[in-house]
Amino acid sequence: MLKLHYAPDNASLIIRLVLEELGAPYETVLVDRGSNAQQSPAYLRVNPMGTIPALETPHGVVFETAAILLWLVDRAGRLAPAVDSPDRGAFLSWMMVASNGLQTDLRQHFYAERFTTGSVAEYRRIVAERLRGHLDRYEALLGEGHAWFGAENPTALDYYVATPLRWFALYLQGETWFDLCHWPRLRTLAKRIETRPAMQAAIAAEGLGETPLSNPSPANPPEGVAL
């Protein structure tokens, strides 16, 4: 049995969605962000980075969102190009952009005061430029007709890119530039993912509302914060 250490409406949501899409049996363990439990000695023994998510497996703990996703899809043989597929390299590249670019820059925007000793507003402006660039690049990629991104059957990359769109809308405080309508292909992807049984299960589990990606509302109960 897999065991997902999670907090509602955190990056662990991406893992929950892929677990549901795969139909993989799993248990959840709540990490109480309110009490900073991710930095507790007990949790650090699970994930020494003190971040959420972490996935306990029969072969040990896997942490970092991209690593967990790749571990899952490679063992399932689904939701990603096969390791010997000509598409594998491009898929992995864009997965790493989601991890090291999109997800990282969102975190730096949310918690800008942790990453700069100068003006927080100016730092957020700089990061916002990078975030717009990520959205533009994924929007363009969706127009290229790849089977591994934006096709009828979702992949791990679809979930990795679509899920953070809710956090763009909810948590980019003071930003007026974000409107998902400016990226129509991403908006279509978000709406498609919302109809998946995996998302319906996550909505029920984490109180995400009826349109958690295309027109999100705060999670209810409001436990945890994005990333």
Q: Give the whole-angstrom CA distance, residue 135 versus residue 130.
A: 9
Angstrom CA distances, 213 to 17, 155, 179, stand at: 13, 16, 12
Whether the per-residue pLDDT at 170 is higher than 80: the answer is yes
Angstrom CA distances, 24 to 15, 74, 199, stand at: 11, 13, 14
Q: What is the pLDDT of residue 34?
A: 86
Q: Give the whole-angstrom CA distance, residue 46 versus residue 186.
A: 35
pLDDT, mean of residues 180-201: 97
pLDDT, mean of residues 132-160: 98
Least confident of 87-91, 182-186, 219-223: 219-223
Measured from the Cβ of residue 221, the count of other Cβ atoms closer than 10 Å reads 10
Give the domain ranges of the chain.
88-196
Q: Give the whole-angstrom CA distance, residue 155 versus residue 168.
A: 21
pLDDT, mean of residues 62-73: 98
pTM value? Answer: 0.95
Among residues of the chain, what percentage have pLDDT more than 70? 97
Angstrom CA distances, 134 to 63, 144, 217, stand at: 23, 16, 23
* Helix, strand or coil, per DSSP, at residue 63: strand
Q: What is the pLDDT of residue 174?
A: 76
Q: What is the DSSP letter of 10?
A: S
Among the CATH numbers 1.20.1280.50, 2.30.29.30, 1.20.58.2030, 1.20.1050.10, which is that of 88-196?
Answer: 1.20.1050.10
Q: Find out whether 17 and 159 touch, Cβ atoms under 8 Å.
A: yes
pLDDT, mean of residues 62-70: 98
Average pLDDT taken over every residue of the chain: 95
Whether the per-residue pLDDT at 223 is higher than 60: the answer is no
Q: Give the whole-angstrom CA distance, residue 165 versus residue 214.
A: 8
pLDDT, tens only, 100-128: 999 999 999 999 999 999 999 999 999 99
Confidence of residue 54 (pLDDT cuts 50, 70, 90): very high
Q: Give the whole-angstrom CA distance, residue 82 versus residue 86.
A: 9
Beta-carbon contacts of residue 67 (< 8 Å; ≥ 6 apart) = none
Whether the per-residue pLDDT at 160 is higher than 50: the answer is yes
Q: What is the pLDDT of residue 222?
A: 58
Cis before residue 212, ω within 30 degrees of 0?
A: no
CA 64 to chain centre: 11
Least confident of 18-22, 32-36, 187-191: 32-36
Whether the per-residue pLDDT at 173 is higher than 90: the answer is no
Q: What is the pLDDT of residue 226?
A: 45
Confidence of residue 227 (pLDDT cuts 50, 70, 90): very low
